[in-house]
Amino acid sequence: MKKITIKDVARESGVSIAAVSYVLNGKFNKVSDETIRAVKEAAENLNYVPDFSARSLVKNKSMLIGVIIPQTEENSDIVIVNPFYSDVLGGIETKARENGYHILLSRVERGRGCFDVSMQRNLDGAIILGAYEEDYCKELSKVKMPVVFLDSYVNNENFYMIGIDDLYGGYIATKHLIANGHEDIAIVTGKIKNHGVMEKRFHGYKKALEEAGIPFRQEYVYSGSVNYEYGIAAGNEIVNSGLPVTAIFATADIIAFGAINSLKAWGKQIPEDYSIIGFDDLSITRMFTPPLTTVRQDIAQKGMVAADLLIDILEGRNKKGIKEMTLSLNIVERATVCQLTK
Amino acid sequence: MKKITIKDVARESGVSIAAVSYVLNGKFNKVSDETIRAVKEAAENLNYVPDFSARSLVKNKSMLIGVIIPQTEENSDIVIVNPFYSDVLGGIETKARENGYHILLSRVERGRGCFDVSMQRNLDGAIILGAYEEDYCKELSKVKMPVVFLDSYVNNENFYMIGIDDLYGGYIATKHLIANGHEDIAIVTGKIKNHGVMEKRFHGYKKALEEAGIPFRQEYVYSGSVNYEYGIAAGNEIVNSGLPVTAIFATADIIAFGAINSLKAWGKQIPEDYSIIGFDDLSITRMFTPPLTTVRQDIAQKGMVAADLLIDILEGRNKKGIKEMTLSLNIVERATVCQLTK
DNA sequence: TTGTAAGCGTTATCAG
DNA sequence: CTGATAACGCTTACAA
């Protein structure tokens, strides 16, 4: 069965290919009602489906949005382990589909990856998930397409950003612990990079401490990777450190899960022995025991907002010239933080 | 900055565009070493990146693989809630990237969805995740591209299948419970459709029962959706049923999580009051408490195998003419099943 | 209102 | 070995 083209539709409906194109593109002011009807009928009958490659070639618009998951050292796993990605991906896909765009999913290593894929595919735009790296920006600024960064603090005129107030998040998390009487609060976090999300949350932690007059102790900082395994490792370290830690701020739920499980494995009670607060409120958090107290951000919502913004830009609807959006955050109290009793 | 085309490279290197194309496509037998060098250098200098749309147009090959997540009633969530999808997606993406393909992610409702996207984008092939529907097959058989189904029992010559032996899985799961002395075994499962995965697991359950001489009881069948919420609902029902259930076979881990949590909420002990075995061994299972005994399948592996098979077909490497692959299954014993003591 | 024809960036055919 | 040139399917001036 050979491909049905616009030509076939033209022949079938007895008009020129130009007329067909007009009808198919809704340029109704250029054609008669009669033509419209005929073309529509023929297209329907023949099961005509436009070829996006051809369209992309001439219009230089692909209706494709790249979703790029940077491949970092900490994130080199075969599977997209962090459920954060699937939550956000769902949000992006939903909005893209609603607007007739498709999603091109691609993990890329540092280097030319981003640039190449965007050029090859004539991507209309891209959304980059977390894990900001200087390299990505440099290569991406050579591309003319709009790029929305999620959870990255990039200092670049060409880019858009969707994020949360990470400093504030770290701040309220820590404050919540302090309000419950804790002073020996460890922080377990991913690698603290300059201008990174983790750094902001860390600063929030320090700020809350300072404000409460609690001295910051470097020994209370556990910094590794944003994954379950590191949470476990950190939990072990804390137990064996001999430090009088009573509470832990995990800068990601997934780390909190690891920490809690390792603590439990040492026979510790949560929250009696250690109060713990996480960050993200992943969709799988509701399945976890004990119910995790955490700083909630609406992750799927974040994906939707990112896609909406990108599409608005693409369609020239970003009238307000938004370059940056910050989504709200709130603490959801469940069962892993309790009042410190001495 | 305007687009660098093959023409620019030709001009820069002082040869014809045809020669450039030859070099870029590795047809070295048609050009001199001198030309090769010149072209490569020019391409490098100009940062030339081939345009896949143009290539796709003439070669009728897009280097795009569609990953289709059917949108069913039970699966209509905004987010791709079932972590199963992200696990498998990671596997697919890995293999695709290794082979120079990109992934087009698309959820589709019943109807023309699949067909349209595959035609529009000139997809080279597609992988369809679970949730078999008669509709999909019908529309897809009109497309000439190879399609690999994951976890679907399709009876159609044109398609390929990657799956597991679901009947066997249901069988060993139930047998494991029986071996631990249980006879009053409930099954909590997604909707049991003809030729569906859930039906097979259900048959496995019945077979194990029969083999052990335990009468099948319809009251022990809880059938709903494959999600956490249904697990909770079923757990509640079981507790309130007054039935002497001592063990539960949940046909998906995610259901098991819900069931366990609702059971715990009723003050029940797992596994003392209820032994539970799941199915899948999701990557998040290791984070769950208590550690879930389950029928393990390697989900990321499944994604990789599917992508490998599809790509082999696309590149004419499926010499053995494989149409169907069944991956292995095994029980991993953790802590949610115990010997029944009366 | 309609149709003709010139591209869009590639590849592939076929003479030189 | 090399280079015009005709496709591929579509959009869009421009003419009719």
Residues of B in contact with A77 (CB under 8 A): 90
Residues 6+ apart with CB under 8 A from B316: none
Min Cα separation B288/chain A (Å): 6
Which tokens belong to A271?
A: 């929250």
What is the spatial distance between Cα A140 and Cα A149, in angstroms, rounded to a whole number? 11
Calculate how close chain B gets to A216, using CA atoms only, in Å.
31
Residue B68 CA to nucleotide D11 C1', Å? 30
Q: Report the protein residue whose CA lies nearest the C1' of nucleotide C3.
A: A16
Nucleic acid strand D: bases within 7 A of protein CB: 1-5, 7-13
- pLDDT at residue number A309: 97
Looking at the fold, whether A36 and A183 belong to one and the same domain comes out as no
Residue B56 located in a structural domain: no
**CB-strand contact B180/C, under 7 Å:** no
Is residue A119's beta carbon less than 7 angstroms from any atom in nucleic acid strand C? no
CB contact (8 A) between residue A1 and residue B120: no
**Which nucleotide has the least CA–C1' distance to B58?**
D8
**Mean pLDDT to the nearest integer, B27-55:** 90
Whole-number distance in Å between B160 CA and C1 C1': 50
**Average pLDDT of B76-80?**
49
Task: Give the gap in angstroms from C-alpha A211 to the nearest C-alpha of chain B.
Answer: 35
Do residues A283 and A187 share a domain? Answer: yes
Q: What is the pLDDT of residues B243-294, one digit of tens each?
A: 999 999 999 999 999 999 999 999 999 999 999 999 999 988 999 989 999 9
Sorted by sequence, the CB contacts under 8 Å of residue B161 that are 6+ apart come out as B148, B149, B150, B152, B153, B154, B323, B324, B325
**Are A292 and A172 within one domain?**
yes
The model's confidence at residue B79, banded by pLDDT at 50, 70 and 90, is very low
Measure CA to C1' and name the residue nearest C11.
B58
Instruction: Give the residue on B whose Cα is nearest the Cα of A65.
Output: B104
Distance, angstroms, CA A125 to C1' C2?
A: 36
**Which residues 183-212 of B interface with strand C at a CB distance below 7 A?**
none
Residues A268 and A190 in one domain: yes
Contact B80 A102 (CB under 8 A): no
Q: Which residues of B touch A79 (CB under 8 A)?
A: 86-87, 90-91, 283, 299-300
Closest CB to A80 among B54, B90, B142: B90
Q: Return d(Cα A239, Cα A49) in angstroms, integer.
A: 62
Find the Å distance, CA of residue A7 to C1' of nucleotide C4: 14
Cis link prior to B290 (omega < 30° from 0)? yes
Q: Evaluate whether residue B59 is within a structural domain.
A: no
Query: Do A273 and A213 sit in the same domain of this protein?
Result: yes
Strand C at less than 7 A from CB of B18: yes
Q: How confident is the model at residue B78 (pLDDT cuts 50, 70, 90)?
A: very low
Are residues B265 and B172 located together in one domain of the fold? yes
Contact A254, B284 (CB under 8 A): no
Structural domain includes residue A339: no
Which candidate from A52, A119, A261 shows the least CB-CB separation from B49?
Answer: A119
Dist CA A151 CA A164 (whole Å) = 7
Q: What is the mean pLDDT of residues B225-240?
A: 96
Residue A99 CA to residue A89 CA, distance in Å, equals: 16
Distance from residue A315's CA to nucleotide D15's C1', rounded to whole Å: 32
Q: Is the CB of B19 under 7 A from strand D?
A: yes
**pLDDT value, residue B109:** 77
pLDDT of residue B104: 95
Distance in Å, residue B33 CA to nucleotide C10 C1': 23
Q: Is residue B220 part of a domain?
A: yes
Protein-to-nucleotide distance from the CA of B59 to the C1' of C13, whole angstroms: 14
The answer to whether residue B341 sits within a structural domain is no
Burial of B184 (0-12, 13-18, 19+ CB in 10 A): middle
CA distance B153 to chain A (A): 25
Stretch (H or E) spanning A34 = helix A33-46
| B192/B278 same-domain check | yes
Q: Please tell me whether residues B289 and B317 are part of one structural domain.
A: no
pLDDT of amino acid A141: 78
- Model confidence band, residue B298 (pLDDT cutoffs 50, 70, 90): very high
Same domain? B227 vs B282: yes
Q: What is the pTM of this model?
A: 0.90
A172 inside domain: yes
Is the shortest CB-to-strand distance from B39 to strand C under 7 Å?
A: no
B17 touches strand C (CB under 7 A): yes
| Residue B337 falls inside a structural domain | no
Percent of chain B's residues with pLDDT above 90: 70
**pLDDT tens track, chain A, 342 positions:** 678 999 999 999 999 999 999 999 998 988 899 999 999 999 999 999 999 999 999 999 999 999 998 876 555 554 445 678 888 998 999 999 999 999 999 888 766 677 788 878 999 999 999 766 676 777 777 788 999 999 988 877 779 999 999 999 999 999 999 999 999 999 999 999 888 899 999 999 999 999 999 999 999 999 999 999 999 999 999 999 999 999 999 999 999 999 999 999 999 999 999 999 999 999 889 999 899 999 999 998 999 999 999 999 999 999 889 999 999 999 999 999 999 986
Is pLDDT at B32 greater than 90 in this prediction?
A: no
The mean pLDDT value of chain B amounts to: 91
In a shared domain, residues A137 and A191: no
| CA nearest to B97, candidates B303, B289, B275 | B303
Q: Which residues of chain A lie closer than 8 angstroms to B265, CB-CB? A: none
> Which residue pairs, CB below 8 angstroms and at least 24 apart, start in B7-13?
B8/B46, B8/B48, B9/B39, B9/B42, B9/B43, B9/B46, B9/B48, B12/B42, B12/B45, B12/B46, B13/B38, B13/B39, B13/B41, B13/B42, B13/B43
In a domain, B58, yes or no: no
Kind plus residue range of the DSSP H or E element containing B240: helix B228-241
Closest residue in A to B112 (Cα) is A47
Q: Say yes or no for a CB contact (<8 Å) between A52 and B121.
A: yes
Which stretch of A6-10, B15-19, B131-135, B307-311 has the lowest confidence by average pLDDT? B131-135
- Any strand C atom closer than 7 Å to A17 CB: yes
- A68 with A157, same domain: the answer is yes
Q: What is the pLDDT of residue A79?
A: 44
Q: Is any atom of strand D within 7 angstroms of residue A59's beta carbon?
A: yes
Identify the burial level of A44 via C-beta atoms within 10 angstroms of its C-beta, where 0-12 means exposed, 13-18 middle and 19 or more buried.
exposed
Say how many domains are in chain A: 3
Q: What is the CATH number of the domain that holds A195?
A: 3.40.50.2300
Shortest distance, CA B101 to any CA of chain A (angstroms): 10
- Quote the domain boundaries for residue B140: 64-164+299-326
Do both B70 and B111 map to the same domain?
A: yes
Asked if strand C comes closer than 7 Å to B60 Cβ, the answer is no
Q: How confident is the model at residue B30 (pLDDT cuts 50, 70, 90)?
A: confident
Record: contact B120-A50, CB cut-off 8 A: yes
